[in-house]
Structure 1
Amino acid sequence: MPRSTSSTAPPGRPRPARRVLATLGAGLALALALGAPAYAHDELTASNPTDGDSLGHPPAQVVLTFEEAPVDLGLQVVVTGPDGPVSAGAPRIEGTTVVQDVQPSAPAGRYTVEWRVTSDDGHPVSGRFGFSAQAAGTGATPGATAAPTSAATPAPAEAPRREPLIPSWAWIIGGVIVIVAAVRLNRRSAAANKQQED
């Protein structure tokens, strides 16, 4: 009896198309697993003054509180008043807080605070918020108790801008690698099936 020349794969042996889909699925799962922690960076949970505060005088300090302790890499806090920057000295990390002193002679008016810290995973996070002062500074030395403010709130005016952990070019390269691997596996499977048929 002549041997059948059907191209049907032997029972229990996955078809080439199924192998390709399985490979692509595994590659996608790996990419998603790697991308999952991309936005697990540090976040600002509170500030003093808070966004939108109206104070009697400019505060002696601006205090930012984060979910986790930031690292001293690229740390920047710029307090800007109606006449320009009023930051006094460099910001400093105290546990999960970042403290920026303010010039004691800061004028009355609107203020903005622009900050940038580095999470403990090595990625920068930044944001911005504002407050106002009804009168000029009292001349108190930076580091003294700040003027009374309303209770700190966890929501900054502008949501922190997070930078992706995996850049777009890495996703492209990963996709190409997965596709090339799938094509090679498909060819090998097809060749193996052809040999069995012969």
Structure 2
Amino acid sequence: MTRSSAPPSRPPALLTTALAALAAGLALAGGAAPAYAHGDLRSSNPADGATLAQPPAQVVLTFEEAPVELGAQVVVTGPDGVVSTGAPRVASADVVQDVQPSAPAGRYTVEWRVASDDGHPASGTLAFTAQAAAAGGSPSAAAPTPAATAAPAEAPRREPLIPSWGWIAAGVIAIVAAIRLNRRASALNKQQED
């Protein structure tokens, strides 16, 4: 048997190192969930599911970070149709939507859509109930009761582009591939030495 005097090539070892680094990166990226909280609804007044004595003069949505005013939409719908008036106003992290002063008793839904300053859209729906009609447009009479503001509204959940299990599966596949390539490179090196 003739031995070669050339040193054994090591591209598989370099490939193994690169794959191990890729696997480590995927594992770290998979463990760090994307930060979507910046555009989420933190609370609302009235709170989702609240029962009020009468409809509020306005609906206030408070977000984790200040949304941009351009494109903000809030539609308040009562038993007789839409009762929101005018465009929503953005004040810091709050979006305020006025409600008609003659709003009737019944169930109300609030549909909203805003965008954060980095462009991520957020939207959702909440509901509340008014036991009696509004008191003729008096803002102090139509204000929600303190009990209505206690519970924060449930923020809508956003799904990441790649679910967590996808990152985990990719990391496991990369690690298994790196181990197999490392074993193959060791076997080739051993054959070349013999």
Q: Is the TM-score greater than 0.5?
A: yes
Q: 2:79 matched to 1:82?
A: yes
Q: Secondary structure at the match of 1:21?
A: helix
Does the C-alpha gap of structure 1 residues 151 and 130 become closer, same or farther in structure 2, counting only changes over 3 Å? closer
Q: Secondary structure at the match of 1:162?
A: coil
Q: 2:96 matched to 1:127?
A: no
- CA shift, 1:155, in A, is 3.1
- CA shift, 1:27, in A, is 5.8
Alignment of 1:52-67 (within 5 A): 52-67=49-64
Q: 2:76 matched to 1:109?
A: no
- CA shift, 1:6, in A, is 10
Q: Secondary structure at the match of 1:37?
A: coil
Q: Which amino acid aligns with 2:26?
A: L
Give the Cα separation in 2 of the matches to 1:167 and 1:88: 40
> Who is 1:15 aligned against?
13
Contact 1:80–1:111 (8 Å) recurs in 2:
yes
Give the Cα separation in 1 of the matches to 2:46 and 2:37: 26
Give the Cα separation in 2 of the matches to 1:21 and 1:99: 52
Does the C-alpha gap of structure 1 residues 95 and 79 become closer, same or farther in structure 2, counting only changes over 3 Å? same
Percent identity over the alignment? Answer: 61
Q: Which runs of 5+ in 2 are unaligned?
A: 175-180
Q: Which amino acid aligns with 1:92?
A: R
Does the C-alpha gap of structure 1 residues 2 and 167 become closer, same or farther in structure 2, counting only changes over 3 Å? closer
- CA shift, 1:147, in A, is 2.3
Q: Which runs of 5+ in 1 are unaligned?
A: 180-185
Q: Which amino acid aligns with 2:13?
A: R
Contact 2:45–2:144 (8 Å) recurs in 1:
no
Contact 1:46–1:155 (8 Å) recurs in 2:
yes
Q: Which amino acid aligns with 2:3?
A: R
- Among 162, 165, 178, which residue is 2:158 paired with? 162
Q: 2:44 matched to 1:47?
A: yes
Give the Cα separation in 2 of the matches to 1:66 and 1:82: 27
> Who is 2:23 aligned against?
25
Does the C-alpha gap of structure 1 residues 120 and 162 become closer, same or farther in structure 2, counting only changes over 3 Å? farther
TM-score, structure 1 length as denominator? 0.68
> Who is 1:96 aligned against?
93
* Number of equivalent positions: 172
- CA shift, 1:4, in A, is 4.5
> Who is 1:71 aligned against?
68
* Cα RMSD, aligned residues only: 3.9
Does the C-alpha gap of structure 1 residues 117 and 161 become closer, same or farther in structure 2, counting only changes over 3 Å? farther
> Who is 1:3 aligned against?
3
Give the Cα separation in 2 of the matches to 1:167 and 1:121: 20
Q: Secondary structure at the match of 1:24?
A: helix
